[in-house]
Amino acid sequence: MDEEISIINSNTRNEKIKNFFIQNKKNLISAVVIIVLMLIGYFGYDEYKSSKKIKVSESYNATIIDFDENNKSQTTDKLIKIINQEDATYSPLALYFIIDNNLLNDANVINSLFDILINKTPVEKEIKNLIIYKKALFNADESDENNLLNILNPIINSDSVWKSHALYLMAEFFYDKNEKQKSKEFFNQILTLENANVDLRQEAQKRLNRDLSE
């Protein structure tokens, strides 16, 4: 008797499962299709990013290898295209190459390229801060106080490893302008910074002792 009841219960469960699949056939198929498409999309996008990275890498390396004094214009155009690809590795390298080799004379254009790296390129936080610092260095000689501070404030108002570099740049900027009190304030900030660069801390102390001890 118990065995018969068990068989009946088993058949009932099987029938319920069968009816469930029949009644929800369309929904189940749709769910499976969505999952498959999501997996294809995920791995396909990952493959696309990998393929794009390789192409940008090849383009950058070929451009650098082919560079000489006779093809500056072509090299610059190719490097700008790489910057506009917004690649975390090769877009910054492309801009640094342009600056290091004086391929562009228009500061506004170079600053707009910096902004692509800072605002659009998906780089790590401290890499972004380094790019901001390099933008400030590029502008330091011709910039006024407000513009330079505006560039550096994202670093100065953070706990970035580049904060002491930003403070030192501002301190030297004001020292060069003979605004010694402002210079002294920035040097002193370096001394109180827990994660300050060791060399910059020493240089800040030397500058305070030697030139700003009044």
Domain extents in the chain: 140-214
Upper half-sphere CA count for residue 45 (Cβ side, 13 Å): 5
With cut-offs at 50, 70 and 90, classify the pLDDT of residue 214. low
Q: Residue 129's pLDDT is what?
A: 97
What is the C-alpha to C-alpha distance for residues 146 and 136, in angstroms, rounded to an integer?
Answer: 12
| Residue 152 near residue 136, CB atoms below 8 Å | yes
| Residue 56 near residue 87, CB atoms below 8 Å | yes
More confident site: 63 or 26: 63
What is the C-alpha to C-alpha distance for residues 7 and 181, in angstroms, rounded to an integer?
Answer: 93
Distances (CA, A) of 24 to 19, 32, 153: 8, 12, 58
More confident site: 19 or 134: 134
More confident site: 160 or 19: 160
With cut-offs at 50, 70 and 90, classify the pLDDT of residue 14. low
Q: Residue 131's pLDDT is what?
A: 97
| Residue 151 near residue 170, CB atoms below 8 Å | no
Q: Residue 44's pLDDT is what?
A: 47
Joined tokens for residue 6: 């068990």
Tens digit of each residue's pLDDT (9 = 90 or more) over 155-209 = 999 999 999 999 999 999 999 999 999 999 999 999 999 999 999 999 999 999 9
Q: Residue 70's pLDDT is what?
A: 86
- Give the mean pLDDT of the chain: 84
More confident site: 173 or 26: 173
What is the C-alpha to C-alpha distance for residues 140 and 156, in angstroms, rounded to an integer?
Answer: 16
What is the C-alpha to C-alpha distance for residues 109 and 114, in angstroms, rounded to an integer?
Answer: 9
Residue 13 has pLDDT above 80, yes or no: no
Residue 45 has pLDDT above 50, yes or no: no
Provide the whole-model pTM.
Answer: 0.76
Name 167's Cβ contacts closer than 8 Å, sequence gap at least 6: 156, 186, 187, 189, 190, 193
